[in-house]
A and B are shown apart, each in its own frame.
Chain A
Amino acid sequence: MVDLTTLGDDSIAAKGWIKAHKWLILRRLSQLGILALFLVGPVLGVWIVKGNLASSLTLDILPLTDPHVLLQAVLSGVVPETTAIIGVVLVLLFYFVVGGRVYCSWVCPVNMVTDLASWLRRILGIRTTSQISRNSRYWMLALTLILPLVVSGGIIWELINPVSMMFRGIVFGMGATWVVVLAVFLFDLVVAKEGWCGRLCPVGAFYNLIGSRSLLRVNASNRAECNDCMECFVVCPEPQVIRPALKGGSKGISPVILSSDCTNCGRCIDICAKDVFSYGGRSVSETIRSNPEVVKKQEVHI
């Protein structure tokens, strides 16, 4: 078992606090920065971005539209305007390259809530969890796409979608949105570990599918250095994605984390005192320089 009281200490000792939290800090800056871009308009009257994550217009020229919500609208029978179609194509292209679930870890405001819940679970030692399958999110995704077809009343998922509700709440006015946010927080804290983002959220599932062939991936190219401290498994929101890449060396499995469940959040990179992980492309070869046995073999070949 990983000692939760000393989680991350090795990394801080090896790299210093800033480097041991580099990607976490950048991620929070990204999440808050995106909110700030939407907020300077209504607060200061300087309009950089209008709208919200469902559809936005940046500097009156760049349209960006959420493909999941537009798909639901189309399924309920609407013909979107050209700007929405351009917006969707741009968003799809972006996430196709950087990985769909970058939306989850770098953009979505709910991530800050569920990360807080995960952190508190570790701090408070809460171990209760219910057995909700990680595949439930795909069923939920199917549900969001079937409902507009069979029930009159349109984009029904948007009536309760915590992701769009929280973002819209912050930008346009909270109302009772905090109740929904609190519900997600408590669900993740007490009911199910990584319950919302990792098991149920259909928005994440949709972006997951978009990014299944994405170019930007985390890799364990330095996996020979791994000292089995297991801390990456503790902080990773989708720990099932790590094992093949980190431990599959003997079976000839690529060190690249290819599962599209990976959110490219970079927590594993931060937490690792041995710098096993790094961002890279889809095909990254293993670093052999620091592995004496491999190096020896290579020398023999030469």
Chain B
Amino acid sequence: MSDTDKKHEMNRRQFLGNMLKTACGVGLVGMGLGIYSNRASSLPAHYLRPPGALPEEDFLGACIRCGLCVRDCPYDMLFLGEVGDDVATGTPYFVARTGPCEMCEDIPCIAACPTNALDHGLTDIEESRMGLAVVVDQETCIAFHGLRCEVCFNVCPIRGKAITLDLQHNVRSGKHALFIPVVHFDACTGCGLCERACILEEAAIKVFPTDLAKGELGKHYRLGWKEKEKAGGALVTPDVEHKYNLPEGVRYDLQGEGLIIEEKPEETPFSSNPLDSLNSSFMDKK
């Protein structure tokens, strides 16, 4: 091997060695980033995304952290996650208790978004699902103590649909009603106005990201009465009403009285009304 060949060989070795070093170093950075991103992509429960935000995983891929939604919010209630915050750095969020979404009809935050991280297909703010309000604490919510409050019901922008009042008997007083707030997912946008308005020191009604707040029924479940409604009639052979072959004047009470023999009044020529007897003799004389 000549000198120049040796030199080339060394250069090639050096080159390959250096390349391997760089590739491995960058690969390690990538692995670290991948692990860190898993931790960083979980959204804390009290951080809500702006209206129209894609599901969290897609959102983190689509949002380029430009902050244009924050700038175009007329109520200045959107913020970008700062380094050290519990939300992915640079992504927009709001906190319902301190600054809920005021549900602008023209949804300027979506219009400002350059990437569809806030879905431009959402044109009706009432269709947005930023989260779901939940009456989380029935022990402190004063409605459950029989006190009239209904503030959450009254501030709700989808009034009478997202939050309804369920009237229940007040067992404590025995004569009053409880006006219990009940949230309905099919109408609640998760704007958070109820949470901000809650009069307690710590809100008893809170908005959570939908996946945290919402249960899901097993796919195999069928609710009989709903299936019946859908089918327009019973899906199984209807039950035959049970009949007791009892003698006349006897019946069976299913509510616990058991066998009842209906007594027929004894027949008598005398009326049960004493006046009739008196009047009858008077009629005779006439």
> CB within 8 Å of B: which residues of A?
41, 47, 50-52, 54-57, 63, 65-66, 69-70, 72-73, 76-81, 83-84, 87, 132-133, 135-136, 139-140, 142-143, 146-148, 150-160, 164-165, 168-169, 171-177, 179-180
B138, CB-defined interface residue at 8 Å: no
Q: Which residues of B contact A154 (CB under 8 A)?
A: 37, 41, 57-63, 88
On whether the beta carbons of B22 and A78 are closer than 8 Å, the reply is: no
On whether the beta carbons of B64 and A165 are closer than 8 Å, the reply is: no
Which B residue sits closest to A141, measured CB to CB?
B26
Q: Which of B36-91 contact A (CB under 8 A)?
A: 36-38, 40-41, 57-68, 70-72, 79-80, 82-85, 88-90
Give A66 to B64 CA distance when docked, in angstroms: 9
On whether the beta carbons of A79 and B34 are closer than 8 Å, the reply is: no
Least CB distance, B178 to chain A, in whole angstroms: 44
Q: Which of B1-37 contact A (CB under 8 A)?
A: 18, 21-23, 25-27, 29-30, 33-34, 36-37
Which B residue sits closest to A47, measured CB to CB?
B71
Secondary structure type dominating chain B contacts: helix
On whether the beta carbons of A156 and B37 are closer than 8 Å, the reply is: yes
On whether the beta carbons of B115 and A84 are closer than 8 Å, the reply is: yes
Q: Which residues of A contact B33 (CB under 8 A)?
A: 143, 147, 151, 156-157, 159-160
Q: Which residues of B contact A177 (CB under 8 A)?
A: 82-83
User: Which of these, B25, B79, B115, contacts A78 with CB under 8 Å?
Assistant: B115
Q: Which of B89-129 contact A (CB under 8 A)?
A: 89-90, 112-117, 120
User: Which of these, B37, B40, B83, contacts A180 with CB under 8 Å?
Assistant: B83
Q: Which residues of A contact B80 (CB under 8 A)?
A: 168, 172-173
Give A152 to B55 CA distance when docked, in angstroms: 12
Known A-B contacts A57-B68, A164-B90, A173-B80; the reply to A80 vs B30 at CB < 8 A is no
Least CB distance, A295 to chain B, in whole angstroms: 40
Q: List 11 A-B contacts (CB under 8 A).
A: A52-B65, A69-B64, A73-B64, A78-B62, A81-B113, A81-B120, A147-B33, A147-B34, A155-B63, A158-B90, A179-B84
